[in-house]
Amino acid sequence: MMRFTLLHADRRTGARAGRLDTPHGSVETPAFMPVGTHGTVRALTPEEVRDAGAQIVLANTFHLMLRPGAELIGRAGGLHRFMHWHGPILTDSGGFQVFSLPRLRRVTDDGVVFRSPIEGSEIHLTPERVTRIEEVLGADIIMPLDVCLGYPADGAAAEEAHRRTVAWAQRGRAAHTHAGQSLFAIVQGGFDHRLRERAADEMAALEFPGYAVGGLSVGEPRTLTHELLQAVTARLPHDKPRYLMGVGVPPTVIEAVRRGVDMFDCVLPTRVGRNGVALTPDGRLTLRNAAHASDLAPLEDGCPCPACLGYSRAYLRHLFKAGEMLGPRLVSLHNLTFMARLVRAMRDAILEDRFDGWSGEVLARYRTAW
Amino acid sequence: MMRFTLLHADRRTGARAGRLDTPHGSVETPAFMPVGTHGTVRALTPEEVRDAGAQIVLANTFHLMLRPGAELIGRAGGLHRFMHWHGPILTDSGGFQVFSLPRLRRVTDDGVVFRSPIEGSEIHLTPERVTRIEEVLGADIIMPLDVCLGYPADGAAAEEAHRRTVAWAQRGRAAHTHAGQSLFAIVQGGFDHRLRERAADEMAALEFPGYAVGGLSVGEPRTLTHELLQAVTARLPHDKPRYLMGVGVPPTVIEAVRRGVDMFDCVLPTRVGRNGVALTPDGRLTLRNAAHASDLAPLEDGCPCPACLGYSRAYLRHLFKAGEMLGPRLVSLHNLTFMARLVRAMRDAILEDRFDGWSGEVLARYRTAW
């Protein structure tokens, strides 16, 4: 079973440093989880992801269920063996993907119905079925089916989404039999402070081993994100990990850690990396810009990643101009290394009670918007 | 300077085992050279290419000259540093690419004129200019500009192509000043036995440090390839390496080694690998075939490559179905490992005077056409 140890909270901000022990190894928190949608972190091997400093990866139940199917992964010995990643894995529930489908979905108290975007057949998902699929996949941490809303969401819709999310978390847990896995709760509640607070209180009372916060950073103003997040984490038990879903913009990650979040996942570092955008302490660096055409410096001075140790910006830019796969590989690797170093630096600052000063300096230097 | 040592010729067939010492390290022959068209072996890092067993790579002067330009590569310290491959490199001359352009070329005794396929400007290439560009790139072995014909080629065209190729080799050599590089000759001559023999004799008399055979395996019947190759290698000096350009089909490589060839290059292993086709001792294995959908075996039993050690055919097939870059990476890596193990096995068989029996067994087992 997973165990979370809160090692220290920064004296001034309350930002947390901890450790998550899972059946497949430990994760130091704050932690950033690279996303391996189809059971592969895009363009990278598990060894590269690990060497970049990632200690846990996320895989998407929704995508894997559709292709290649949970049954095959179960026969292969579970997702760890199938994808050759032997560290901790977290699987989401598919809720976010289902509620992002453009058409053909029906939501009832029972669950959701949608058409497979791959071969068109009708698929029914209930909280119980999601739990069963996640048990077959065998991740260390799993998420229950939840109802995800976009921004803005009206009060009645947010209320209903919250009610179903709470009921589904309980049903998902009731169906859960795999002792080696930890099923987190997901706190929804839209963009109303009081509903978010109630959602946090109700989930906290149900005593889950960990708490995700969903439905934030989906287009609402940044100050609202911060306020709602603060309201939620203030109500969650101190001794359980908090996971802010789908967030990987460096400044937002820092602001969330300041508000007591321990875990993050996002496709951003690998997605922008595949497009030749590198994350650096000064913000985003776009390799296609002509300024880098003859720049023989590395992406980031002092970065220990393979891209920075072996290659110049001019060479990396050449790879993107020529459509060569090594470009997306190397910049994805750099960006994951950047995120791992960022959470590591936050952890060090927290353990030494200097998170406030550290974050002020880092945020001032990070110049681009996202 | 490069030095070639012929270590042993198989007693029965004359197949050769040797060693090529270059300023950037040694190459055991027979050798297969992966192709890094744009200064990158597609989808792979130099470390992976080396670990797959490759000891030398080829890069394309034509492509690099057009993008990012030789001048930038020169300022970066040469191609080795620019692409982060510290072993031996061979650059071709661009002749093959120029003569493959669909339109807008003019060939005179002076050289060739064509329009850049990237930005349309008119480019003049002479044997002297090609040598100068290759000197800036700084490869260990370089090729002179040659005239390449397709199959079939009429007698007059073949005669003229041969005449220009001989003259251009001499002009390329006269312009060559970089003592650390070895400029090979290319034997052309079309598909006429007597012209091929004359081409080999004339080039041999000019005493180059190595000899490439160009314009074979371009669509002519396989028996003709073998006959012409035999006629050429029989006339080339024993103490110089022979390089069959653009050939990487495993059975053809074996037949060419039997006829005294030492070096090969081809995009085939990486090109088919990117499309999910693996080279195995039984021939090509096409991952998209439904037969592999739930096959938990590796691509090739006993293969030490990362793809075979870490992943099942079912997982690799899933990567290709899902459009994930890790698929092309892993199968390219497997195929380069396959080629390195193939040339290594040939070398061992030659050194033990059992090439004839070895090649008979391997060819009988390799069941697919190419």
HEC-encoded secondary structure of chain B: CCEEEEEEECCCCCCEEEEEEECCEEEEECEEEEEECCCCCCCCCHHHHHHCCCCCEEECHHHHHHCCCHHHHHHCCCHHHHHCCCCCEEECCCHHHHHHCCCCEEECCCCEEEECCCCCCEEEECHHHHHHHHHHHCCCEECCCCCCCCCCCCHHHHHHHHHHHHHHHHHHHHCCCCCCCEECEEECCCCCHHHHHHHHHHHHHCCCCCEEECCCCCCCCHHHHHHHHHHHHCCCCCCCCEEECCCCCHHHHHHHHHCCCCEEEECHHHHHHHCCEEEECCEEEECCCHHHCCCCCCCCCCCCCHHHHHCCHHHHHHHHHCCCCHHHHHHHHHHHHHHHHHHHHHHHHHHCCCHHHHHHHHHHHCCCCC
Count of A-B CB contacts under 8 Å:
104
Q: What is residue A8's predicted lDDT score, i.e. its pLDDT?
A: 98
Q: How confident is the model at residue B18 (pLDDT cuts 50, 70, 90)?
A: very high
B278, β-bridge pairs? B285
Query: What distance lies between CA A300 and its chain's CA centroid?
Result: 24
Tens of pLDDT, residues B89-147:
999 999 999 999 876 579 999 999 999 999 889 999 999 999 999 999 999 999 999 99
pLDDT of res. B370 = 54
Q: Which chain A residues have a beta carbon less than 8 Å from that of B39?
A: 315, 318
Looking at residue B219, its pLDDT comes to 94
Q: Quick check: B369 pLDDT over 70?
A: no
Predicted local confidence at residue B103, as pLDDT: 67
Mean pLDDT of chain B: 96
Backbone angles phi, psi at A341, to 5 degrees: -70, -35
Nearest chain B alpha carbon to A69: B318
Q: Looking at residue A105, what is its pLDDT?
A: 74
What is residue B105's predicted lDDT score, i.e. its pLDDT? 74
User: Are B38 and A328 an interchain contact pair (Cβ–Cβ within 8 Å)?
Assistant: no
Contact map slice: B 325-354 vs A, CB within 8 A: 325-326, 328-330
Closest residue in A to B294 (Cα) is: A72
- Put simply, whether B39 touches A (Cβ < 8 Å) is yes
CA B350 to the chain's CA centroid: 21
Q: Which residues of chain A have a CB within 8 Å of the CB of B312? A: 76, 82
Low-confidence ranges of chain A (pLDDT < 50): none
Residue among B63, B76, B311 whose CB faces A296 most closely: B76
8 Å CB contact of A293 and B68: yes
Q: What is the pLDDT of residues A115-140, one digit of tens each?
A: 999 988 999 999 999 999 999 999 99
* A297-301, B93-97, B193-197, B309-313: least confidently modelled range: B93-97
Instruction: Output the pLDDT for position B287.
Output: 98
Distance from CA of A311 to the nearest CA of B (A): 7
* B324: nearest CB among A40, A46, A315: A40
Q: Is A92 a catalytic residue?
A: yes
Q: Which of B129, B208, B138 is nearest to B172 (CA)?
A: B129
| A311 contacts in chain B (CB < 8 Å) | 84
pLDDT digits (tens, 9 = 90+) for B320-349: 999 999 999 999 999 999 999 999 999 999
Which domains, from first to last, does chain B contain? 3-268 (3.20.20.105)
Marked catalytic residue, from B92, B140, B146, B262: B92
Find which of B308, B324, B326, B331 to mutate to test the A interface (most A CBs within 10 Å of its CB): B326
B10 catalytic residue (yes or no): no
pTM confidence score: 0.98
Mark yes or no for CB contact A84/B39 under 8 Å: no
Cβ neighbours of B83 in A, within 8 Å: 315
Identity of the residue in B38, B84, B314 whose CB atom sits nearest the CB atom of A68? B314
Among all residues of chain A, which has the CA nearest to that of B327? Answer: A43
